[in-house]
Amino acid sequence: MAAPSAPAVRPAAARAPAPHPPGASPLRRGQRRAAALFIVPFFVLFAVVMAAPIAYAVWMSLFQERSSGLGFGGTERVFAGFGNYAKALSASGFRSSFGHIALYCALYIPVMIGGSLALALLLDSALARAKRFFQLALFLPHAIPGLIASIIWIYLYTPGLSPVLDWIGALGGSWDFYSDDHVLTSLVNLTAWQWTGYNMVIFYAALQAVPREVLEAAVVDGAGAVRTALTIKVPMIASAVVMTVLFTCVGAIQIFTEPKLLNQRGAPSIDTEWSPTLYIWKAGFVQHDYGLAAAASLMLAALGIALSYLVTRLGNRWKAAQ
């Protein structure tokens, strides 16, 4: 968590060559052995929990289970080449799930990142009181597992059970959290509630590293609190912002628990293929089509990698422009 608080150093300085270029002072054999000792566990774990499963998924994605006639004579595994990839891409459910996620991100990321940034700046301002308390209180929702959080919010969303809806009704209004128009905001509300506090803590930590003399200079120059926050503090924690946007994007395309529960509670427009992970889950565990599930998973992973690259590139450009 503390890593992003380093950006006090300007990016240009960070890119300067290291004082001792690698290779200038060759490692002694003993040192090399010690280095290997530290590195090997990483590669072993990486191979076992990352590389091997991915390779296995690639292998699985190339096969399909086929039966014949009525199907009671057993199944056989046949090589399908890219058949599973074509099947996933031609499924309208899989394609539209990416559209749903894009819409979700378009609403969720600005609301959540903007919200946590605003809260962090408020907490960091000279006027804030009881900072410790608010830090903890705002972080608390993140300590609740996503599943439990979903259950709590679904309780508040469900007509007939929800006290919130009873109050709205008592005031003469009406609201349907599950209707096609509102379900996206209901979902964003749920996830933003969980993650705003978490990212706020990251931003707040980064703000602590902003040098006091810079802020004092701003005050001497006549900058008000808002001006200081927007033109001094925000650019100085740009690295933290880019990093959280990156993590949020990668997390958002994998959203599963919240739409799954909303689907079970009968939100009509959240169907069983609403997000890519729901589609994959259904392919694997309802249809028992492991090849299709593997192919779709790999495509989702590829999207995640592409998105990370894009966010990092755009983020670096933004930081450089500050």
Minimum CB distance to another protein smaller for 150 or for 244: 150
Identify which range of 52-60, 68-76, 224-232, 312-320 contacts another protein by CB under 8 A. 68-76
Strands (E), the chain: 63-66, 76-79
Minimum CB distance to another protein smaller for 103 or for 305: 103
Q: Could you say whether residue 176 binds another protein (CB under 8 A)? A: no
C-beta of 285: minimal distance to another protein in Å? 4
CA atoms of 210 and 203, how far apart (whole Å): 11
Q: Could you say whether residue 285 binds another protein (CB under 8 A)? A: yes
100-159: contacts with another protein (CB under 8 A): 147-148, 150-151, 154, 158-159
Minimum CB distance to another protein smaller for 154 or for 296: 154
C-beta of 264: minimal distance to another protein in Å? 7
**CA proximity to 234, closest of 221, 223, 220, 248:** 223
Helix H or strand E segment including 269: none
Which of 21, 23, 30, 160 contacts another protein by CB under 8 A? 160
For residue 165, the tally of other CB atoms under 10 A from its CB is: 19
C-beta of 165: minimal distance to another protein in Å? 11
C-beta of 162: minimal distance to another protein in Å? 9
Q: Could you say whether residue 288 binds another protein (CB under 8 A)? A: yes
Q: Could you say whether residue 65 binds another protein (CB under 8 A)? A: yes
Minimum CB distance to another protein smaller for 69 or for 222: 69
C-beta of 77: minimal distance to another protein in Å? 11
C-beta of 154: minimal distance to another protein in Å? 6
72-101: contacts with another protein (CB under 8 A): 72-75, 87
Tokens linked to 31: 């040192």
Long-range contacts of 177-180 (CB under 8 A, 24+ apart): 177/267, 178/262, 178/265, 178/266, 178/267, 178/268, 179/268, 180/268, 180/269
Identify which range of 97-105, 112-120, 204-212, 268-276 contacts another protein by CB under 8 A. 268-276
Q: Which amino acid is at 165?
A: L
Kindly state the number of chain residues that form the binding site for another protein, as judged by CB under 8 A: 37
Q: Could you say whether residue 224 binds another protein (CB under 8 A)? A: no
**CA proximity to 278, closest of 100, 66, 85:** 100
**CA proximity to 268, closest of 184, 173, 175:** 184
CA atoms of 58 and 294, how far apart (whole Å): 7
C-beta of 251: minimal distance to another protein in Å? 19
CA atoms of 254 and 97, how far apart (whole Å): 11
Question: CA 179 from chain center: how many Å?
Answer: 25
Q: Could you say whether residue 208 binds another protein (CB under 8 A)? A: no
Whether 79 contacts 62, CB under 8 Å: yes
**CA proximity to 48, closest of 58, 36, 38, 56:** 56
C-beta of 144: minimal distance to another protein in Å? 12
Question: CA 272 from chain center: how many Å?
Answer: 21
Which residues bind to another protein, rule: CB under 8 A? Answer: 65-75, 87, 147-148, 150-151, 154, 158-161, 261, 264-269, 271-273, 282, 285-288, 290
